[in-house]
Amino acid sequence: MTPPLQGTAPDRRGMLAGALDIRWQDLPTLRRSVRMYQRNLMVYRHIWMVIVSGFFEPLFYLLAIGIGVGSMVPDINGLSYTAFVAPGLLASNCMNGAVSDGLFNIWFKLHVQRTYDGILATPMRVADVAFGEMLWALTRGSLYSAAFLVLVFVLGELWGPRILLSPSAILALPASVLVAASFSSMALCLCSFVRNREDFDKVMGLVVVPMFLFSGIFFPVTQMPAFFQAFVQIVPLYHAVALLRALTTGIVDVWTAWHIAYLVVGGAFAFLVAMRRFERTLIK
C-alpha cells in the first residue's frame, strides 16, 4: 500500500491539484512548529548582533533617500517625499527580513549542512519545519517593522515633516506582519527552486533588486510606461508598498482590499507549493 504523499511517482495532476491534496494530519501543528522557533532562538542567542544590525539599514535609507534626496523632491500628491518613501521602506524591510536572511540561510541548512535531515528523523515533519521557519522569519520581519514604525513616528514628531499622517497608521503594524508572513512564504517557495549559489545571485540580481527599485517605493509607479505599470501588478512588493502607504497616509480605498487579498492568497499558495517541494526533496 502506498501513501498519498509519495515522492517517487510523477505527479501528473499538476502543481495546483498536488498542492491542494493535503491530508488533515499532514498540516503543520503549532506545537511542533514552535520547536523550529526555539531552535532559531538558541542559534541567535549566539549571533544576536545580526538582528540588532538589521534595524539600521532601513533607518539609513530613510535618512539618505527619504530626507537627503527628499529635500530636493517636491510633494507628491500633497505628500512630502519623506512621508511617501517611508512606508515603502517599511515594506521592503519586511521583504529583506524574509528574503535576504531567510532564503539563503534555509537553503544552506537544507542542501549543504543537511540540518533538516537530522530534524526529520524525529517526530517532526516537513510541514512543521517549513511552518516553523516561516514563523521565525515572520517574527524578525515584524520586529523590524515595529521598530521602524516607532522610529518613523518619533522622527516625524521631533524633526521634520510628519511621516505618519493618520490614525490608521497604527494598522500598519498588523499589516506589516501580514506582509512579512507573505514574503516569508514566498521566500520559502523560492528556496525550494534554487539549486546552487549561482542561482542565488541570479535571484538577488534579477528579482529582489529590481523589485526594490521599481515597486513604487522611490517614485510612483504611474510614472512608468503603461506596460510596466501592468506588469508591476503581479509583483508582491508593489502590493505591500501600496497597502502600507495607504495605511500610514490614511488614503485608503477599494484597492487596499485587493492588495490585502493578493498578499494573503499569494502567501498561502506559495507556502503550499513550498511544502510539497520540500517534501519531495527531503523524502525520496
Partner 1 sequence: MPSAAGPLVLARNLRKTFSSFTAVDGIDFEVRPGEAFGFLGPNGAGKTSTMKMIACASPVTGGELRVFGMDPGTEASTIKARLGVVPQADNLDLELTVRENLLMYARYFDIPSQTARQRTEELLAFVQLGERGGSRVEPLSGGMKRRLTIARALINEPDLILLDEPTTGLDPQARHLIWERLYRLKKNGATLLLTTHYMDEAEQLCDRLIVMDKGRIVAEGSPRELIERYVTREVLELRLADTDGDVLKERLASLATHVEILPERIQLHADDGEQVLERIHALGLPVERALVRRATLEDVFLRLTGRTLVD
Partner 2 sequence: MIRALRLVQRNAMVFRRIWAGAIFVSFLQPAFYLASMGLGVGSLIDRGGAVLPGNVPYVAFLAPGLLAGTCMQMASFESSFPITGKMVWERNYEAITSAPMRIVDIVVGELAWVALRLLAVALVFTGVMWLFGAARTPLVLLAIPAAVLTGLAFSAPIIAYAATLKTGANFNALFRFVISPLFLFSGVFFPVSQLPGPLQTAAAFTPLFHGVELTRGLALQTLTWPAFAVHTAYLSGLLTLGTAAAVWTFTRKLRA
Which of these, 27, 51, 66, lies nearest to 102 by C-alpha position? 51
Is there binding between residue 53 and partner 1 (CB under 8 A)?
A: no
For residue 202, the partner it binds in partner 1, partner 2, none, with Cβ less than 5 to 8 A by kind, is partner 2
Stretch that binds partner 1, among 76-84, 113-121, 145-153, 260-268 (CB under 8 A): 113-121
* All residues at 6 or more sequence positions from 1 whose CB lies less than 8 Å from its CB, including other chains: none
Is there binding between residue 118 and partner 2 (CB under 8 A)?
A: no
Is there binding between residue 49 and partner 1 (CB under 8 A)?
A: no
CA distances from 246 to 84, 188, 250, 255 (A): 10, 27, 6, 9
For residue 162, the partner it binds in partner 1, partner 2, none, with Cβ less than 5 to 8 A by kind, is none
Stretch that binds partner 1, among 40-48, 63-71, 148-156, 213-221 (CB under 8 A): 40-48
Identity of residue 33? S
Q: Please say whether the beta carbons of 112 and 46 come within 8 A.
A: no
- The SS3 assignment for 124 reads coil
User: What is the maximal distance between C-alpha atoms in the chain?
Assistant: 70
Site string for partner 1, 71-110 (x = CB under 8 A): --------------------------------------x-
Cβ proximity to partner 2: between 13 and 197 the closer is: 197
Q: Which three cell numbers stand for residue 87?
A: 512606508
| 150-209 residues near partner 1, rule: CB under 8 A | none
Which of 16, 17, 41, 68 lies at the binding interface for partner 2 (CB under 8 A)? 68
Place of cell 534579477: 206
Which of 6, 71, 196, 223 lies at the binding interface for partner 1 (CB under 8 A)? 6
Helices (DSSP H) in the chain: which residue ranges? 14-20, 30-46, 48-54, 56-61, 81-96, 104-107, 115-119, 126-158, 172-191, 197-203, 209-214, 226-231, 236-249, 254-282
Stretch that binds partner 1, among 87-95, 123-131, 189-197, 212-220 (CB under 8 A): 123-131
Which of these, 138, 137, 125, lies nearest to 29 by C-alpha position? 125
Could you list the residues that contact partner 1 (CB under 8 A)?
Answer: 1-3, 5-8, 31-32, 35, 38-39, 42-43, 46, 109, 113-125, 283-284
- Where do contacts with partner 2 occur on this chain (CB under 8 A)? 47, 49-50, 53, 56-57, 60-61, 63-65, 68-69, 71-74, 76, 81, 198, 201-202, 205-206, 209-210, 213-214, 218-219, 223-224
